[in-house]
Amino acid sequence: MLGIKLTQNFRTPYLAKNPSEFWSRWHITLSNWFRDYMYISLGGNRHGRVREISALILVMAVAGLWHGAGWTFVLWGLIHGVYLAAYRFIPSDRLQALMLVGSRYKFPVYQGLGIGLFFALTVLAWIPFRAPDLATTLEMYRAAFSFAGVGEWVAQAKWIVVIGGSAR
């Protein structure tokens, strides 16, 4: 209406099938800034695999610090750095099979499974981002991956259904 054109900053990032695609869709202007001014300045992918992995992980740790000054944010960035490094360096045929993407997996069911798998990994990475401290983060991961944690989820779900409300 005023003739101002804004850059699109998010493009359905939760429909990404892998970490590289996620970061090309999530906070696009900030991701491009980190790529252009940090990753490339650190050498990018021009100086071997070790340097590339180091650059990816360092840039994502700094991206975590950009979001807040705390170890939980650094951990969040490190997790995403590890996702990016793993995606970049796991042999493509194995990764394609793991993430259900690639030329063999063009059917919509595989695409949906790939999106679901990476969405689950993304949700796990949000835990330290939202937790108040590292101790709480570790406790949340412990609860999420233990049978006791699953029991707590089921008990909470039954309680929600009984009162017809939401968990808060």
Considering the candidates 27, 47, 67, 80, report the single residue annotated as catalytic.
67
Exposed / middle / buried, residue 162 (Cβ in 10 Å: 0-12, 13-18, 19+): exposed
Q: Which long-range contacts (CB under 8 A, 24 or more apart) does 139-143 make?
A: none
CA distance 21 to 11: 10
φ, ψ for residue 43 (rounded to 5)? 110, -15
Neighbouring residues of 32: CB distance < 8 A, sequence distance ≥ 6 = none
167, 152 contact by CB (below 8 A)? no
Judge whether 27 counts as a catalytic residue: no
**Catalytic residue positions, numbered:** 67
